[in-house]
Amino acid sequence: MKIAVPTRHGHVDEHFGHCEFYTVYTIENGKVTAKETLGSPQGCGCKSNIALDLQQMGVEIMLAGGIGSGAINVLAAHGIQVVRGCSGNTDEVVDLYINGELADSGESCSHHEHHHGSHHGEHGHSCNH
């Protein structure tokens, strides 16, 4: 199984479409066996080919912070399930997911709604704010 996490400075990026890159974790037998990065295309995540690129890498899960419903739909169409509302260190968030300790927040961002300067939960490790 492969899990992708939109990443900025080693943490889950609050804005899926604006992350520095995606960290892609390979999980085997409940453990991370490989970690690689995929560059983030410029522009809105839902209008890029990122879902296809992730699908071709074998990604099945996206652990995201803020993500709009358009991007969720595009990812779902490529067989990628999104867990929303994640925050904190990407390695720790993936470990929590593997251990069954994360739940989808159920919240989608309004299209292109921005909360710049709002870094609530930056050091938290929960996906249900």
The tens place of each residue's pLDDT in the chain, 129 residues long, gives 999 999 999 999 988 878 889 999 999 999 999 999 998 876 555 567 889 999 999 999 999 998 888 889 999 999 999 999 999 999 999 999 999 998 888 766 644 333 333 333 334 444 544
For residue 45, give the nearest of 65, 31, 27, 26 by alpha carbon: 65
Number of H helices, E strands in the chain: 3, 6
- The confidence score (pLDDT) of residue 52 equals 92
User: So what's the architecture of 2-98 in CATH?
Assistant: 2-Layer Sandwich (3.30)
DSSP alpha helix (H) spans, 6-89: 50-57, 69-77
pTM for the model stands at: 0.80
What distances in angstroms separate CA 48 from CA 22, 42, 128, one per listed residue?
14, 8, 27
51 and 68 Cβ atoms separated by less than 8 Å: no
The total of other beta-carbon atoms located within 10 Å of residue 43's CB is 11
Query: Using CA atoms, how far apart are residues 124 and 118, in angstroms rounded to an integer?
Result: 14
